[in-house]
Every structure is written in structure tokens, then in C-alpha cells.
């Protein structure tokens, strides 16, 4: 009896249950984030076929497809979306722990996500000032139109452009946007404009209709708002895929752009652009908002950056009446 009671349980009972192998999770996370096996392979320095095999093996272990494979697109399946949420949290936790072990956790880093045009036109020109004031704080900037999950992806701060209305949960308002035509002072020269329709004598710099927010950020809408009705572009149109491209083209004297807040205020204040009809400012029905990861808000260096950011918006140029 003694021997029976002290007997060790079978090896299989002691073995920890592991539903899937873990080797393919990095490849899955990268492919799910980039929605491309090819891009994931390049990011991880693997071959595309290797990523494909990893995903196929993972799908076999899970028992459900993780991706919806279309002719020219790759989408996450419901099972893939569910797994991605868990994998991101796990990998972020592992990476943070490894950083602590290596001593990298001593780096005071702020991770900020925003869209590319805001980064290039407003934020990046100001970051040099922050770095001079706080050389011990490192800024990691994720400039893309991809909406990130702050907690899952370990991002401290996000600045986004969203439709006017109820603020997203936990977000604070930075600025309500308006839009107005602007062109370089050299292009305007000494020309006197009498009516909004006169702007069509220069090339009109427009955004592709696929760009989010162009339902109002286009010349047809602005001419109608200004009371000019239908106006034909006598000097033609140039169409861009990104707002910062259109603004930079206007600064170079290539035409007239519709520039929105807060870039409009900066460009006018520094003399790069002038507003030929300063009183005609069309509300955009969009706004810039700030979201903060609760975990990041507890870090003193993140709080330092947030205070500096608020100060930059308070001190930003204003449009006169």
C-alpha cells in the first residue's frame, strides 16, 4: 500500500499541456500585422515559402484557417483576429522582459503613433526642440495610417484624425480642423483676386478621392462652400495620394492647395504660404485627438512628453480674424 500510495503519476500526467508549437508565432504576428506573407518574410529575414509553411502548420494545429486568402489580398479570419490579440500581448510581454534582462529597460523611451502627414508636417519639425530640452528621452515614432491598439502593441501615445462627434473612449481633443486655400507668396505675386473662382487660374492641387476625409477636403466642396458654384480648373489639376505631398507642392509654387489645421497655421505663420481669402475657412467635420495608453501615462518620461505636446498646441500659431 505504501508503495502504491507513493507511486509517481504517469509521465503524460506530469507533462505540461501545450496546444500549439510556439515557433511560428513571430511569423504569424508579422503576417497578420502587414497582411502579407512576402512583407513578413522580408521583416523577419526569412523566405516567403518559409512564412507560408509556418502559417500552414499553425492553421493545422489550431484547426481553423487564420487568414482569408484572396487573389490580391490577404485578410485575417475571425480565428486569426482572436489569435492575433493574444499573440501580440504575449510577444510584447516577452520582449519587455528580455529588454529588462538585457538592461535596455533603462532607456527612457516614448512610443508615439500618428499618421504620416501629421508626423512630417507638424510633429517632426518640433521634435528637435524636445530633444534639446530632454536629450535623455528617446522618441520612437510610428508614422502610418494603421490604427494601433495601444495596450496590445505597447504604444504610449497616439494622435489621430477622426470625424467630429463623440470622442473615442479615453481620447482628448487637440484641435477642430478647418480648411482654406493657400499658395506660395511667390506664385501669388502681386495678383489681386476678386472672387474665389479666380483661384482656378492656377493649378489646383487636390487629393485622390480614396484618401480618408476627402469627402470635404476637395475643391468641388470648397468652391460650393465659398459660393462660387461649379468652377472649371482653367490651369488644370494635380492629384496627390497624401496631404503632405499637396502641401509641399504648394510651398514649391506648383499650385493652390486646400490646407487644413493645424498645418495651415504653421505654413502661414512661417511665410511658406498665404491665404488669399483668409475669412473663408471651411469646417472640416474632422478633429485631431490624443489617446494615451494607461500604462504609458504612469511613466514619468511619457508624462514629460505629454506636457510638452500640450504646450506645443497651446503655443501654435493662430489664424487671425
Per-residue pLDDT tens over the stretch 43-62: 888 899 999 999 999 999 99
Q: Residue 213's pLDDT band (boundaries 50, 70, 90)? A: low
d(Cα 68, Cα 283) in Å, to the nearest integer?
A: 40
Report if residue 215 sits inside a domain.
yes
What's the number of domains the chain is made of?
3
pLDDT at 247: 95
91-143 pLDDT tens trace: 877 876 776 566 555 678 899 999 888 999 999 999 999 999 999 999 998 88
Q: Which of 52, 73, 102 delimits the end of a domain?
A: 102
Query: Is residue 7 assigned to a domain?
Result: no
Q: Are 275 and 183 in contact (CB under 8 A)?
A: no
Over residues 160-182, the pLDDT tens digits come to 988 888 788 888 999 999 999 99
Q: Which run of H or of E encompasses 25?
A: helix 25-34
Q: Distance (Å, rounded) from C-alpha 310 to C-alpha 315? A: 9
265, 292: one domain: no
Look up the domain containing 189 and give its range: 176-284
Residues 169 and 33 in one domain: no
Q: What's the pLDDT score for residue 83? A: 92
Identify whether residues 187 and 267 lie together within a single domain.
yes
Q: What letter would DSSP give residue 122?
A: I
Whole-number Å distance between alpha carbons of 319 and 213: 22
Q: What is the CATH number of the domain that holds 77?
A: 1.10.10.10
β-strands 137-143, 282-292 pairing: unpaired
Question: Average pLDDT over the chain, rounded to whole?
Answer: 86
Residue 222: which of 236, 242, 206 has the closest Cα? 206
Helix (H, G, I), strand (E, B) or coil at 103: coil
Amino acid at each position: 500500500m505504501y508503495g502504491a500510495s507513493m507511486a509517481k503519476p504517469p509521465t503524460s500526467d506530469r507533462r505540461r499541456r501545450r496546444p500549439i508549437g510556439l515557433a511560428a508565432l513571430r511569423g504569424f504576428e508579422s503576417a497578420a500585422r502587414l497582411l502579407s506573407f512576402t512583407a513578413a518574410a522580408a521583416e523577419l529575414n526569412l523566405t516567403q515559402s518559409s512564412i507560408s509553411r509556418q502559417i500552414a502548420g499553425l492553421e493545422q494545429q489550431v484547426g481553423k484557417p487564420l487568414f482569408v486568402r484572396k487573389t490580391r489580398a490577404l485578410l485575417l479570419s475571425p480565428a486569426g483576429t482572436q489569435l492575433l490579440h493574444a499573440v501580440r500581448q504575449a510577444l510584447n510581454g516577452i520582449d519587455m522582459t528580455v529588454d529588462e534582462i538585457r538592461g535596455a529597460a533603462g532607456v527612457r523611451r516614448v512610443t508615439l503613433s500618428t499618421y504620416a502627414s501629421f508626423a512630417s508636417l507638424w510633429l517632426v519639425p518640433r521634435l528637435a526642440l524636445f530633444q534639446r530640452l530632454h536629450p535623455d528621452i528617446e522618441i520612437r515614432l510610428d508614422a502610418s495610417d494603421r490604427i494601433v491598439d495601444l495596450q496590445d502593441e505597447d504604444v504610449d501615445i497616439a494622435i489621430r484624425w477622426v470625424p467630429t462627434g463623440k470622442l473615442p473612449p479615453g481620447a482628448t481633443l487637440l484641435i477642430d480642423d478647418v480648411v482654406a486655400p493657400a499658395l506660395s507668396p511667390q506664385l501669388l505675386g502681386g495678383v489681386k483676386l476678386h472672387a474665389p473662382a479666380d483661384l482656378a487660374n492656377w493649378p489646383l492641387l487636390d487629393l485622390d478621392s480614396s484618401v480618408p476625409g476627402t469627402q470635404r477636403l476637395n475643391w468641388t466642396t470648397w468652391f460650393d462652400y465659398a459660393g462660387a458654384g461649379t468652377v472649371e480648373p482653367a490651369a488644370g489639376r494635380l492629384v496627390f495620394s497624401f496631404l503632405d505631398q499637396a502641401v509641399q507642392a504648394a510651398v514649391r509654387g506648383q499650385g493652390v492647395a486646400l490646407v487644413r489645421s493645424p498645418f495651415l497655421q504653421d505654413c502661414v505663420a512661417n511665410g511658406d504660404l498665404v491665404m488669399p481669402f483668409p475669412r473663408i475657412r471651411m469646417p472640416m467635420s474632422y478633429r485631431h485627438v490624443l489617446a494615451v495608453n494607461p500604462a504609458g501615462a504612469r511613466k514619468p518620461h511619457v508624462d514629460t512628453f505629454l506636457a510638452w505636446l500640450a504646450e506645443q498646441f497651446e503655443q501654435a500659431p493662430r489664424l487671425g480674424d
